[in-house]
Amino acid sequence: MKKLTAILLIMMMVLSLTACGSKTEAPAADSGAAPAAEASAEKPVIGVTIYKYDDNFMSFVRRAIDSSNNDVATLEMNDSQNSQATQNDQVDTMISKGAKALAINLVDPQAASAIITKAQAANLPVVFFNKEPEASVLASYDKAWYVGTASAEAGIIQGEMMAKMWTDNPTWDRNGDGIVQYVLLKGEPGHPDAEARTKYAVDVMVEKGLKVEELELQTGMWDSVKGKELMDGWIAKHGDAIELVITNNDGMALGAIQSLNANGYFDSGKYMPVFGVDAIPDALEQIKAGKMAGTVLNDAKNQGKATFELAYNVAMGKDPLDGTTWKFDENKAVRVPYVAVTIDNIAFAEEAYK
**E strand or H helix at 136, and its extent?**
helix 135-139
Q: Determine the interface stretch with ligand GAL among 20-28, 40-48, 50-58, 96-104 (rule: CB under 6 A).
A: 50-58
Query: Helix, strand, coil: what percent of the chain each, to 5?
Result: 50, 15, 30
Q: Binding of ligand GAL at residue 195 (CB under 6 A)? A: no
- 15 or 244: whose CB is closer to Ca ion? 244
Return the closest-CA partner of residue 254 out of 57, 16, 12. Answer: 57
- 91 or 252: whose CB is closer to ligand GAL? 252
- For residue 235, the minimal CB distance to ligand GAL (Å) is 23
Q: Binding of ligand GAL at residue 279 (CB under 6 A)? A: no
What's the residue count for the chain?
354
CB atoms within 10 A of CB 210: 20
Return the closest-CA partner of residue 18 out of 277, 302, 324, 335. Answer: 335
By the 8 A CB rule, do 100 and 71 touch?
no
Q: Binding of ligand GAL at residue 100 (CB under 6 A)? A: no
Strands 333-335 and 295-297: what pairing? unpaired
Q: Binding of ligand GAL at residue 277 (CB under 6 A)? A: yes
Phi first, then psi, for residue 246 (nearest 5°) are -105, 135
| Distance in angstroms (rounded) separating the CA atoms of residues 221 and 244 | 20
| Distance in angstroms (rounded) separating the CA atoms of residues 238 and 326 | 47
Start-to-end CA span in the chain (Å)? 38
Spell out, one character per residue from 179 to 218, where the chain touches Ca ion: x when CB under 5 A holds, - when not.
x-x-------------------------------------
- For residue 264, the minimal CB distance to ligand GAL (Å) is 28
DSSP letter, residue 328: -
Q: Binding of ligand GAL at residue 58 (CB under 6 A)? A: yes
- 163 or 279: whose CB is closer to ligand GAL? 279
Binder among 44, 192, 251, 294 for ligand GAL (CB under 6 A):
251
Phi and psi based region of residue 232 (left: phi greater than 0; alpha: psi -120 to 50; beta: remaining): alpha
- For residue 318, the minimal CB distance to ligand GAL (Å) is 28
- For residue 292, the minimal CB distance to Ca ion (Å) is 20
Q: Binding of ligand GAL at residue 132 (CB under 6 A)? A: no
Q: Determine the interface stretch with ligand GAL among 13-21, 55-63, 137-145, 254-262 (rule: CB under 6 A).
A: 55-63
What is the identity of the amino acid at 45?
Answer: V
Binder among 62, 131, 228, 335 for ligand GAL (CB under 6 A):
131
| Distance in angstroms (rounded) separating the CA atoms of residues 334 and 353 | 20
| Distance in angstroms (rounded) separating the CA atoms of residues 51 and 325 | 27
Q: Binding of Ca ion at residue 173 (CB under 5 A)? A: yes
Binder among 68, 78, 90, 249 for ligand GAL (CB under 6 A):
249
Dmax (CA) for the chain in angstroms is 68
Q: Which residues contact 55 (CB under 8 A, 6 or more apart)?
A: 222, 251
Q: Determine the interface stretch with Ca ion among 71-79, 141-149, 177-185, 297-305 (rule: CB under 5 A).
A: 177-185
Select the binding partner of residue 179 from ligand GAL, Ca ion, none (C-beta < 5 to 8 A, by kind): Ca ion
Q: Binding of Ca ion at residue 177 (CB under 5 A)? A: yes
Select the binding partner of residue 177 from Ca ion, ligand GAL, none (C-beta < 5 to 8 A, by kind): Ca ion
Q: Binding of ligand GAL at residue 234 (CB under 6 A)? A: no
Q: Where does this chain bind Ca ion (CB under 5 A)?
A: 173, 175, 177, 179, 181
Q: Where does this chain bind ligand GAL (CB under 6 A)?
A: 55, 57-58, 130-131, 193, 222, 249, 251, 277-278, 298
